[in-house]
Structure 1
Amino acid sequence: MGGAEKVVMDLALYSNKEEFNTYVLALSKRDELLDDFLENNISTNILNKSNSLIDFMVIIREVNRFIKTNNIDIIHAHMTHPIIVASIIKLFKPSIKIVYTSHSIDIGSKIREIIVWALKPLREIDIIFSKGIIKFFYKKNHKIIPNGVKISKYNLKINKNKKFTFVSIGRLEVVKNHKILIEIAARLKGEFDFELHIAGDGYLKENLEKLIDRYKINDCVKLLGNIKDIPTLLNKSHCLVLPSLWEGMPIVILEAGASSLPVISTPVGSIPSLLNDQNSYISELKLFESSMIRVLEDAEESQKKGLILFDLIKKKYNINKVVARHEVIYKML
């Protein structure tokens, strides 16, 4: 369900197989998309390790062995732990080239930022999604490449749900801020006829279930769990809501745009480089409820914004163009 994992899958899936042999090596125990990787014949291995010191040492050993066995030339490290691991590996094998993508404006803590900054000399290039998330720990010779999406996968011709449906897609974690959506739904329930569908799983699931029970809105707010068929979920819905506290460049916004779906989102991370008042409802948290009301009251306006966003996604965020730009970097190393 994670956006970073989807980016990795798309890079592996749409890369030129005649020029690149791609392997995916996951460090943690998260395996939500493993079946998708395997179904697409992407060579994928999961180490199933924790963040403990002992497991970290095991990860270094296993990754080093994997690189030697498969004659790896380039490591594209996605997020913080992988770039730390890749940097240590480079100390043992200086010839290996390292590319780093963080996937978020907030990488976790100041300590992490300092560590990533200190490791800059050990990597060749950083890839970031927009100028808006540039920080001191990125290399000066970074490249700006946005995320991408396969347009044809999401541009479906299917019927919408009979009842107006807001949809939220993402991990059930604090950063995604589902709590505010449930609170807004509780206030609007008596005035409007709609449903809020929340797709995803995570450590806040039980807390969100209790909140829904407390407000007695089980008939209005649905926790769907992990959903595999995201294109159908989006195309059956009427509006994507993303009240995140911080982000990078969320894949789900590109997916919604490719589905011609109106989007309400907070202006965090790289999102303002994509969304504006013409193609979406870019809303601070204090205005989020007003934007949801506006969508409920004016379907014509929201549908128009969805079509404008679709045109932009089709023009600038096609996954094949995005992958091609990554391949140019790989060849230069």
Structure 2
Amino acid sequence: MKILYVITGLGKGGAERVVCDLADKMYEKGNIVKIAYLTGDILTRPVNEKIELIKLNLNSISTFLFAYVSLSRLIKDYNPDIVHAHMVHANIITRLIKILSPVKKLINTAHNSNEGGIIRMLLYRATHHLADVTTNVSNTAVSAFEAKNAVPKNGMRTVYNGVNFNNFKYQPEARKKIVAELGLNEEKIILAVGRFNIQKNYPNLLRAIKYLKENNALDFILLIAGDGELKSTLEKIILEFDLSDDVKLLGIRNDISTLMSACDVFVLSSDYEGLPTVLIEALACQSHVVSTDVSGAREIISDYGKIVPINEYKTLAEQIFISLQCEDRNKLAGSYIKNNFDIDIIYNQWIDIYKSK
């Protein structure tokens, strides 16, 4: 089977990692695979170097026609059995291409409960009929799209993100490694991972850390791995809250599994998500997790972590404190997560969709 994955970009994010892992698995199983990406630098890539990565250079409205023609030509020359697009920009452009160019089977996958405002939702609705299959990454995200009239009732199905657990599993020596690298002592380690953008609501997490510091004698440090447009804002808040000794911004890291294995508690403070794969990865590393009640969080965490209301820093701080009291790793979470989100399980679901009439 010839498969073309189309994605908005290959930056450092959960959706990008999911697509690259899926491409690797498809290639491993004997399929021919290419990935086309619309814009940006390559920060996430498949493990298999034989998977071709094709940049379409959609950098602005003025380059849309060029990218449209480039992708149309790629589809014509490559003649894939499946075109599987991911994220809003890739989903819309592949649908528009199908108006003028033959596409054997077009699958569109959204990766969030919130993929933009009313114009994007109208575009989703107006072009819905052009996709053969439309999916999202959690039941909650599907319901959100239906509520916004972005898809008709029962017009979108759920396929969870698959995770390669060879890359995410508990590492017993991780804590020693991170403690030595960062010059830490015996303090508890709280970890957050993700882009520095509005969606992740790091200001609320920093308020929770400030509250935790002021109301408990617990010795802890918050590590945040990531980067983004709000970095300077977060640095100002850290100074304003007098948290310079309590928070470390680590930048972009390539050892997230090690950090997750080293931490005492993993925290997700987002205002919205689709299926926060980072929670799957943290639980696979036997972390105790605290997450805001975003789309997909309950479907992932089940009984293996804490869910708190969105944008309530006191409750977030309280549940972090409770989770920090756990002395043992979250061992049962590892087997639970693997049985539900392993890439091999999700691969079989996608193959069934690819082959369906």
Both structures adopt the same fold (TM-score exceeding 0.5)? yes
Q: Does structure 1 conserve the Cα–Cα contact (< 8 Å) formed by 2:84 and 2:108?
A: yes
> Relative to structure 1, is the Cα distance of residues 83 and 138 closer, same or farther in structure 2, using a 3 angstrom cutoff?
same
- Counterpart code for 2:275: M
Alignment gaps of 5+ in structure 2: 1-11, 180-185
Match of 1:79 among 56, 62, 87: 87
Give the secondary structure class of the aligned counterpart of 2:271.
Answer: coil
Tell me, in whole angstroms, the C-alpha distance in 2 between the residues paired with 1:69 and 1:159: 47
Deviations 1:149-171 (A, max 9, x none): 12232222224244311111111
> Relative to structure 1, is the Cα distance of residues 38 and 316 closer, same or farther in structure 2, using a 3 angstrom cutoff?
closer
Q: Which residue of 2 is the match for residue 157 of structure 1?
A: 172
Tell me, in whole angstroms, the C-alpha distance in 2 between the residues paired with 1:10 and 1:327: 15
Q: Which residue of 2 is the match for residue 44 of structure 1?
A: 53
Deviations 1:74-129 (A, max 9, x none): 21111111111101111122343210111000011111111101111101011222
Q: Does structure 1 conserve the Cα–Cα contact (< 8 Å) formed by 2:27 and 2:33?
A: no
Tell me, in whole angstroms, the C-alpha distance in 2 between the residues paired with 1:262 and 1:176: 19
Tell me, in whole angstroms, the C-alpha distance in 1 between the residues paired with 2:166 and 2:101: 41
Q: How does 1:1-333 map to 2 (within 5 A)?
A: 1-17=12-28, 19-33=30-44, 36-37=45-46, 40-50=49-59, 52-134=60-142, 135=146, 136-138=149-151, 140=154, 142-155=156-169, 156-160=171-175, 161=179, 162-189=186-213, 191-276=217-302, 278-284=303-309, 285-286=311-312, 287-296=315-324, 298-300=325-327, 303=328, 306-333=330-357
Deviations 1:35-81 (A, max 9, x none): x336644311223432x321111110111121122222321111111
- Counterpart code for 1:242: L
Q: Does structure 1 conserve the Cα–Cα contact (< 8 Å) formed by 2:22 and 2:162?
A: no
- Counterpart code for 1:265: S
Q: Does structure 2 conserve the Cα–Cα contact (< 8 Å) formed by 1:166 and 1:197?
A: yes
- Counterpart code for 1:195: I
> Relative to structure 1, is the Cα distance of residues 18 and 273 closer, same or farther in structure 2, using a 3 angstrom cutoff?
closer
- Counterpart code for 1:124: D
Tell me, in whole angstroms, the C-alpha distance in 1 between the residues paired with 2:55 and 2:192: 28
Displacement of 1:213 in angstroms is 1.9
Tell me, in whole angstroms, the C-alpha distance in 2 between the residues paired with 1:232 and 1:6: 17
Identity percentage over the alignment?
30
Q: Does structure 2 conserve the Cα–Cα contact (< 8 Å) formed by 1:38 and 1:44?
A: no
Tell me, in whole angstroms, the C-alpha distance in 1 between the residues paired with 2:283 and 2:228: 25
Q: CA RMSD in A?
A: 1.9
More displaced stretch, 312-321 vs 179-188:
179-188
Give the secondary structure class of the aligned counterpart of 2:260.
Answer: helix
Alignment gaps of 5+ in structure 1: none
TM-score (norm 2): 0.85
Q: Does structure 2 conserve the Cα–Cα contact (< 8 Å) formed by 1:74 and 1:97?
A: yes
Q: Which residue of 1 is the match for residue 183 of structure 2?
A: none
> Relative to structure 1, is the Cα distance of residues 26 and 66 closer, same or farther in structure 2, using a 3 angstrom cutoff?
same
Displacement of 1:217 in angstroms is 1.8
Tell me, in whole angstroms, the C-alpha distance in 1 between the residues paired with 2:322 and 2:114: 30
Aligned length: 325
> Relative to structure 1, is the Cα distance of residues 66 and 38 closer, same or farther in structure 2, using a 3 angstrom cutoff?
farther
> Relative to structure 1, is the Cα distance of residues 241 and 271 closer, same or farther in structure 2, using a 3 angstrom cutoff?
same
Displacement of 1:270 in angstroms is 1.6
Q: Does structure 1 conserve the Cα–Cα contact (< 8 Å) formed by 2:260 and 2:282?
A: yes
More displaced stretch, 94-103 vs 78-87:
94-103
Deviations 1:159-196 (A, max 9, x none): 42443111111110011011112222223335321111
Displacement of 1:316 in angstroms is 0.9
- Counterpart code for 1:330: Y
Q: Which residue of 1 is the match for residue 4 of structure 2?
A: none
